[in-house]
């Protein structure tokens, strides 16, 4: 009986774990730029990557401003607002990104 109960518990645990991993996160198209230079955020000093979702700006954790080129270049994040396809969630007023892809600039 103990073996049967143990096997049933193991299958239940595997089922719950599989359910958590298959839950897809929502892909969003968001504005992305320097939080300080373009979005007027003052919580941090310097230049940090931020996203704007539904009019609210959040600093990003999971990728950095310099991971995507020179932020201070003519077409950098400190000079322009771009769009990106992202997956992540807001936690403690910060956007925790698990996927980040810059979209081409519109001409």
Residue ranges per structural domain of the chain: 25-102
Q: For residues 56 and 90, is the Cβ–Cβ distance under 8 A? A: no
| Arithmetic mean of pLDDT, 45-74 | 96
- The string of DSSP letters for 15-28 reads HHHHHHHH-PPPEE
pLDDT digits (tens, 9 = 90+) for 60-94: 999 999 999 999 999 999 999 999 999 999 999 99
Predicted confidence band of residue 2 (pLDDT cuts 50, 70, 90): low
What is the per-residue pLDDT for 21? Answer: 46
Question: Does the structure show a pLDDT above 70 at 26?
Answer: yes
Counted residue by residue, the chain has a size of 107
For 25-102, the fitting CATH number among 2.40.50, 3.30.1560, 1.10.10, 1.10.150 is: 2.40.50
């Amino acid at each position: 009986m103990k073996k049967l109960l143990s096997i049933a518990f193991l299958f239940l645990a595997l089922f719950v774990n599989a359910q958590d991993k298959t839950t897809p996160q929502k892909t969003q198209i968001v504005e992305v730029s320097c939080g300080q230079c373009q979005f007027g955020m003052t919580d941090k000093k310097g230049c940090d990557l931020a996203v704007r979702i539904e009019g609210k700006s959040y600093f990003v954790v999971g990728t950095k401003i310099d991971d995507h080129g020179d932020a201070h270049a003519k077409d950098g994040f400190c000079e322009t607002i771009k769009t990106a396809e992202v997956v992540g969630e807001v936690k403690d007023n910060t956007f925790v990104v698990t996927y980040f892809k810059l979209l081409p600039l519109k001409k």
